[in-house]
Structure 1
């Protein structure tokens, strides 16, 4: 098969069986600001958490700017009596705000963020040692913005490739990620709303869409994580492994990319998996679930090794698209999926769907012949 060709299976072909794994899909937002960030308005902690609970989110991280409190996030955001939930898994985090860029730090339990803030201008190898000593997750924020990510990606455990609802500005973030993947490095991707302002209690759709408050809030975008169980360690482990996908809002489809690498008709690979390519054909499936518009016609762009590889149509009934390809033996290859189509309505944040244009969701990659230690 030529490099720029793919085979889309007909509806008569048998779908791949899924190799069942223990786990569940959980949705959340990795990047939010409350009133404890000086540039945030109308966004108390209790409002953010209450909104996420009402919408059925599973996990959340409020990542206030540490520079606004001289690094003392533990005494501000974390000490806020409202920073608690019986329904959400709340991570401890902050946005490291440094001259070299912005980083989201995630912790399962409270950690000494002051140490990171005080050493934010250290050399990267010293920060790597500090990260390991504290046992925290280091996530590269919006690498191509005015507050770009300027630290080494060797520090990063994940990368934010979808920041806020406006899709066009995020294409450059995805390009940076593709460059990293093409180099042979496996790096899990996530989204983050980066919301700084609270939505009105009764938002109304206006044209043109003006206040950011009616366009960006919890879940714009939403990151879905496939975790072994509903615990914070499992969620972070899956984020590192790339067992995640991003949707422009929580009512849009969740995308899954799976593959049958050994030809037995069972999809044993899911996003984040790395298999040895032996020169034989591999069957892939793109599956949509968890929302969207019934009967809508969604399109899929398959990206292989940074370049568009195939354009597919999702079957409106099965919500599946299929293709095959032959990853080269002895060479690294990766595949990821981007989903376009109509935006599902987000009633509480109606203007977000306009800003996302037709970009509905994207997947983490499937890998072939990668060195997991790279």
Structure 2
């Protein structure tokens, strides 16, 4: 039987495979065959190769004696993937008795491609004998395309992978052909088993869920950070030090598609820094942050928007008390733009790293959704901003969130962000307060002020840390007030309105244009006088009191 041009083994091929295994090699995918995974076994399309066996299993050692401690066996698998191959390719590996460590390395070719055509890019990870089904407990690690090799034993593992026993059964090495060139992708996977006693187990040190706070207060935190446990180049110790240097009270660990870093953060947290565990889930149709996950919990990423699986994992995060946050929704890179909608989201990342046009688009879309929420009566979606810092020179805390929370604790911070009681700052040098006051009442960021429709109210912003900046007050009608800050960067801006004229008001504080040249406006208005964002608030909602 042939599937997509590949044929299953016939008797002669099985004999040839046995000879190849005895020689420590395995034939390519054209000879091994591609077996399509059962529909629904995983969210995204997948294929499964023929299994790799080891001599110790073939000669009965899995049920009897095992090879001497320290001895090794290696198998090599080569193959070819055509353009349009499924998202994930599973290579089953039969693990015999007595294995102390599994080591895997891989490579693939990168032929020249025409300008504008994606070249080869292939990720890698592994699942153990507990299976590869969506949300399987068999997940043992993922490094994407950041590493070319990994090792797993009971006591330690390559960053991105989970230590633990290398148990008997069928493991699956997972190839993720992210992009495939027109010529296809030739790959080589080498698997080495080391035999011996499994040794002492790894003991995780999870971070506490509370640090020494100031009671109900504003706390600063960066909720999107990467380490060497995915595709970052900073050690966890360096990220924690960077968070402290940025003046942050908390940070969230969000390595891509793995929970493997959770077990090391305890040694880097402290009374002055709360470290929250999370994950960045990188699907083929956009990335999202799972914030506030229980330490050690992993969220699957192997689905597209058409697979109708995202809501399942959003519910899983919500059951754990965490937040679902679409990340950098307008990022121009392959598979980064957000395609899952916002019905299951708790907030949206509208500012990611240094200010760019992507962020401008994200803020515009978010603002439009505020109007939709008012019209439909649905819950509005708070905004947040994070650095997404991976390595030098990316700046931890550029930007970060300033969250009003009852305590410096994971659950309190998640509650604050969920309620939209936060604003975004480019650095700890930027300070602000933003309120609406009228009729003897006051409301702050993320809150409501209810007054008679014609009753006057004052919107006030106190800000410091943005020399020569521009303050903008934006409502459901658009920008309604603009004012410049002095060279000192400190000032107070007050604007009067009513609930009949504005359903919400939010504030932006912008830097001047880098070269002093005004930005280009439209044909109906003057040139724009502002530049990159320095601070952005969630709205204060202004509600007209019903008569009678």
TM bracket, shorter-chain basis: 0.7 to 0.9
Q: Is it true that 1:31 corresponds to 2:208 in the alignment?
A: no
Q: 1:63 aligns with which of 226, 241, 254?
A: 254
Shift of 1:312: 2.0
Contact 2:314/2:324 (<8 A) preserved: no
Alpha-carbon distance, 1:259 to partner: 0.7
Distance 2:269 2:366 in 1: 33
How far the C-alpha of 1:357 sits from its partner, in A, is 5.2
Find the aligned partners of 1:95 and 1:125 in 2 and give their Cα distance.
Answer: 16
- How far, CA to CA, are the matches of 1:81 and 1:25 in structure 2? 23
How far apart, in 2, do the equivalents of 1:222 and 1:167 lie?
Answer: 16
Q: Are 2:357 and 1:164 equivalent residues in the alignment?
A: no
Q: 1:133 to 1:108 in 2, by over 3 A?
A: closer
Query: Hey, what does 2:290 align to over in structure 1?
Result: 105
Greater strand fraction, Structure 1 or Structure 2 = 2
Greater gyration radius = 2
> Which of 475, 480, 500 is the aligned partner of 1:304?
475
Find the aligned partners of 1:249 and 1:313 in 2 and give their Cα distance. 20
SS at match of 1:183: helix
Q: 1:133 aligns with which of 290, 300, 319?
A: 319
Task: Give the deviation of 1:243 after TM superposition.
Answer: 1.2
Say if 1:361 and 1:167 are closer, same or farther in 2 by CA, change over 3 A.
farther
Kindly report which structure 2 residues correspond to 1:1-374, keeping only aligned pairs within 5 A, or say none: 23-38=216-231, 40-41=232-233, 43-66=234-257, 73-74=258-259, 76-80=260-264, 84-86=268-270, 87-107=272-292, 109-110=294-295, 112-114=297-299, 116-117=300-301, 121-146=307-332, 147-184=336-373, 185-197=379-391, 199=392, 213=393, 216-251=394-429, 253-261=430-438, 263-264=439-440, 268-279=442-453, 280-289=455-464, 292=465, 296-305=467-476, 307-314=478-485, 319-328=491-500, 333-341=503-511, 358-369=532-543
2-side partners of 1:105 and 1:27: how far apart?
18
Distance 2:474 2:267 in 1: 40
Conserved 8 A contact 2:250-2:273: yes
Write the distance in 1 (CA, Å) between the matches of 2:512 and 2:471. Answer: 13
- Consecutive unaligned residues in structure 1, runs of 5 or more: 1-21, 67-72, 200-212, 344-355
| CA distances 1:14-65 after superposition (whole Å, capped 9, x unpaired) | xxxxxxxx72111111111111123x23x11111112222443100012111
Kindly report the root-mean-square deviation, in angstroms, between the aligned alpha carbons of the 2 structures. 2.7
Q: Unaligned stretches of 5+ in structure 2?
A: 1-214, 374-378, 514-529
Q: In structure 2, what is the Cα distance between the partners aligned to 1:270 and 1:166? A: 25
Query: Structure 2 vs 1, CA of residues 51 and 177 (structure 1 numbering), >3 Å: closer, same or farther?
Result: same
Encode CA deviations 1:205-231: one digit per residue, 9 max, x unaligned. Answer: xxxxxxxx2xx2211112111112222
Higher relative contact order (CA 8 A, sep 6+): 1
CA distance in 1, matches of 2:468, 2:345: 36
